[in-house]
Structure 1
Amino acid sequence: MNRFFAFVKKEFFHILRDRRTLLILFGMPLAMVLVFGFALTNEIKNARIAVLDYDHGQHSRQITDRLLSSGYFQLQRNLSSYRDIEATFRQGKVKLVVVFPANFTNDYAHHAQVQLLADASEQNTAISLTNYATNIIQGYAQEQNPPDAVVPLQIVVEPRMVFNPELKGAFVFVPGVMALVLLLVSALMTSVTIAREKETGTMEVLMVSPLSQLQILFGKVLPYLLLSFVNGCVIIALGVFLLGIPLNGSLLLLLCETMLFIFLALAIGLLISTLADTQLVAMFASLLLMLMPTIFLSGFIFPIESMPRFLQIVSNIIPAKYFIDIVKGIMIKGVGLSDLWQPTLVLFGMATVLMAVSLRNLKPRLE
């Protein structure tokens, strides 16, 4: 029995000395609980909206104040004309536009109307925001009704879904799945294949070949770059021809952005391969660093605006966040590079930095 307890004691010490085991036992569950607890919510807060007020009357101002004080909305800008609405949506600056007609005050005692236009490229967000706004506006109308009113005051809310009037779930599903698949295939496979070469010792054999180290590395990466690009093209084709997603923008721009995102994913895989000594570690690190953040912190499923401020800041380093916005912008909204240069520049900067760091870390190990 003493031998048994000594063996158990030895195993405890072995686990406590292994940082990777401790990370799996305690780090991953803690991270999952925090992310699930804060990110898994259908409630939307601080959604950016715009107001187009042709009336400028007392009731339109009070309803606007009521919307902004609810905690669900924050005012991004005041619009001056109806032509500004589509441009604002295409820029991705707002999720909802509230329109008060010019005769809103005069019609208030009879049959006033308010129009709600939502960016339905994010289907669930658009439905939730229109429901929130409708309940707040109708609640305001009920409060304004006098107790002895024969005909109660009414405000008719007319919601309209922009870019996705039929509220197809594929408009949200396809860009997110595209980002997830390309990340996993590109980064996971790249990190595993290089880790396998290092683990089996065949990388040293390659070093004696006439090829340079840089040629060997890019020779390893190039097949996954091309195969992942084919995956991206297949997903785009299925989305357009099978699921009915429009391609309102430039196909060439979409393909170039896809190639840039794949190159970034390969850079992530190379970076993981420089830090991992075995295939198992590389696979675990790839899944932990990409799968969960992409699903929960990219805006794929849960709106980023509803997350705590800390997670909103963390989401800025998630590459899929920018790629999903780019795919939606090109395919659904039909915007060009003039509106997408910022997320494109972020992806390019990430890819450049990660590739440089990966090559710098990997070369000393191969020498």
Structure 2
Amino acid sequence: MKRFIGFIKKEFYHILRDKRSLFILFGMPIVQIMLFGFAITNEINNVDIAILDHSKDATTQEIINKIAASKHFSIKQVIEKESDMASVFQKGQVKAVLNFEKKFSKNLIKDNHAKVQLVTDATDPNTANTISNFINAILQNYLKEQNKNITVSHQVIPQTRMVYNPELKSVYMFVPGVMTIILMLVSAMMTSISITREKELGTMEILLVSPLKPFQVILGKVFPYIFLSIINAVIVIVLSVFIFKMPVQGSLFLLGLESVLFIITSLALGILISTISATQQTAMMISLMGLMLPVILLSGFIFPITSMPLPLQVISNIIPAKWFITIIKGIMLKGVGLQYLWKETLVLLGMTVFFIALSVKKYKIRLE
């Protein structure tokens, strides 16, 4: 036991002396959570639009003022004729043009309807669709205010209520995914070079002839990173809550336990990569390139898994990040407990045992 504790202390000292490893472990996650949290969003704010008002009456001015008052849009310019639309789009000055017909107010009062055309720059289809939805919502809200004293029989008025994220904040979607990616990639990357570093430095022979058993070497390599990664997870969660206002509806204690489990899973995967890699460069490439794309594409972080072809849905089940994203969203946004998340927890626990067992087996093979 004393040898095992001494081995763990040696690993701690080695990590703390390596400034590059400390930067990767603590610096990169902070930079990533801040960068991704602010940059990755499907919301629109201060989008530049142009106005083509053929009517120039009080009603169109009210609508324009209502749009300008929204945080989502900024009236960049007012154009005078339709031929100017192509020019402003080609110059990239605006993302949309709102075109009011002539006698807009008169037609609205006399015929109970008036035409307004929304022309959007669809080089970015998602942004164009979002702009259209927001503009339509503003117009519908204006009409509702104008018609609040008018009743029409047999009306069907749908009422929509958004649960868990009523304000439709995209940060609620992206931050859990970014947290998962950071914890997995950093943990796996750090441990993936631990054993390969011993090989390159020529100290592997010392471990091979030491009285430490293979599972003790594996646990000794993982343990310091568990402690440091927990600190990392606390930093990420604190930034998410206080900077991006992510709620924690469920148990903070359960969130901590599940985070530790996922960290151990990621570290075990990194150790497995380390045992099958000959050099640090190979281990780093596998942990970065081999894990990053599957984690981003097949974890449900950005793209819904149910929308993927069946073979990819099946493959996604072997991605640990998929299960942790479900857990973290369940705890932070839905406030559910272990009675709803036991399956995902067991999957991560099973993966951890599998990765550690396979790492020990591979390490044994290298002992022979």
Contact preservation (8 Å) 1:297, 1:318? yes
Task: Tell me which residue corresponds to 1:286.
Answer: 287
Task: Tell me which residue corresponds to 1:349.
Answer: 350
Q: CA RMSD in A?
A: 2.4
Task: Tell me which residue corresponds to 2:339.
Answer: 338
Q: Output the CA distance in 1 between the equivalents of 2:337 and 2:330.
A: 8
Contact preservation (8 Å) 1:191, 1:273? yes
- Give the letter aligned to residue 276 of structure 1: S
After the TM superposition, which residues 157-196 of structure 1 pair with which residues of structure 2 at under 5 Å, given as runs?
A: 157-196=158-197
Task: Tell me which residue corresponds to 1:253.
Answer: 254
Report Cα offsets for 1:206-257 as digits up to 9, x if no partner. 3344544433322221111111111111111111222111111111111111
**What secondary structure does 2:246 align onto?**
coil
After the TM superposition, which residues 43-192 of structure 1 pair with which residues of structure 2 at under 5 Å, given as runs?
A: 155-192=156-193
Give the deviation of 1:288 after TM superposition. 2.7
- Give the letter aligned to residue 167 of structure 1: L
Q: Output the CA distance in 2 between the equivalents of 1:209 and 1:366.
A: 11
Contact preservation (8 Å) 2:176, 2:325? yes
Give the deviation of 1:153 after TM superposition. 7.2
Task: Tell me which residue corresponds to 1:97.
Answer: none
Task: Tell me which residue corresponds to 2:35.
Answer: none
Contact preservation (8 Å) 2:298, 2:316? yes
**Residue 307 (structure 1) aligned with residue 345 (structure 2):** no
Q: Output the CA distance in 1 between the equivalents of 2:355 and 2:156.
A: 54
Contact preservation (8 Å) 2:222, 2:268? no
Task: Tell me which residue corresponds to 2:217.
Answer: 216
Q: Output the CA distance in 2 between the equivalents of 1:308 and 1:212.
A: 44
Q: Output the CA distance in 2 between the equivalents of 1:215 and 1:309.
A: 40
Q: Output the CA distance in 1 between the equivalents of 2:300 and 2:361.
A: 32
What residue ranges of structure 1 are gaps of 5+ in the alignment? 1-41, 43-123, 132-150
Contact preservation (8 Å) 1:305, 1:312? yes
Give the deviation of 1:152 after TM superposition. 10
Contact preservation (8 Å) 1:272, 1:286? yes
Q: Output the CA distance in 2 between the equivalents of 1:217 and 1:171.
A: 36
- Higher Cα Rg: structure 1 or 2? 2
- Give the letter aligned to residue 192 of structure 1: I
- Give the letter aligned to residue 322 of structure 2: K
Give the deviation of 1:155 after TM superposition. 3.6
Task: Tell me which residue corresponds to 1:7.
Answer: none
**Residue 205 (structure 1) aligned with residue 206 (structure 2):** yes
Contact preservation (8 Å) 1:188, 1:286? yes
Q: Output the CA distance in 1 between the equivalents of 2:195 and 2:182.
A: 20
TM-score by length of 2: 0.57
Q: Output the CA distance in 2 between the equivalents of 1:341 and 1:279.
A: 36
Give the deviation of 1:287 after TM superposition. 1.7
Task: Tell me which residue corresponds to 2:363.
Answer: 362
Task: Tell me which residue corresponds to 1:235.
Answer: 236
Contact preservation (8 Å) 1:198, 1:278? yes
Q: Output the CA distance in 1 between the equivalents of 2:154 and 2:292.
A: 51
Contact preservation (8 Å) 2:306, 2:313? yes
TM-score by length of 1: 0.57
Task: Tell me which residue corresponds to 2:276.
Answer: 275
Give the deviation of 1:269 after TM superposition. 0.9
Contact preservation (8 Å) 1:179, 1:320? yes
Task: Tell me which residue corresponds to 1:93.
Answer: none
Q: Output the CA distance in 2 between the equivalents of 1:234 and 1:215.
A: 29
* More divergent stretch after superposition (294-303 vs 238-247): 238-247
* More divergent stretch after superposition (191-200 vs 311-320): 191-200
Report Cα offsets for 1:253-285 as digits up to 9, x if no partner. 111111111111111111111211111111111
Q: Output the CA distance in 2 between the equivalents of 1:352 and 1:272.
A: 15
Runs of 4+ aligned residues of structure 1 deviating over 4 Å after TM superposition are 151-154
Contact preservation (8 Å) 1:203, 1:366? no
- Give the letter aligned to residue 339 of structure 1: Y
- Give the letter aligned to residue 335 of structure 2: G
What residue ranges of structure 2 are gaps of 5+ in the alignment? 1-41, 43-125, 134-151
Q: Output the CA distance in 1 between the equivalents of 2:361 and 2:182.
A: 27
Give the deviation of 1:364 after TM superposition. 2.3
Alpha carbons of structure 1 residues 217 and 354: separation in structure 2 relative to 1, 3 Å? closer
Task: Tell me which residue corresponds to 2:93.
Answer: none
**What secondary structure does 2:169 align onto?**
coil
Q: Output the CA distance in 1 between the equivalents of 2:343 and 2:214.
A: 34
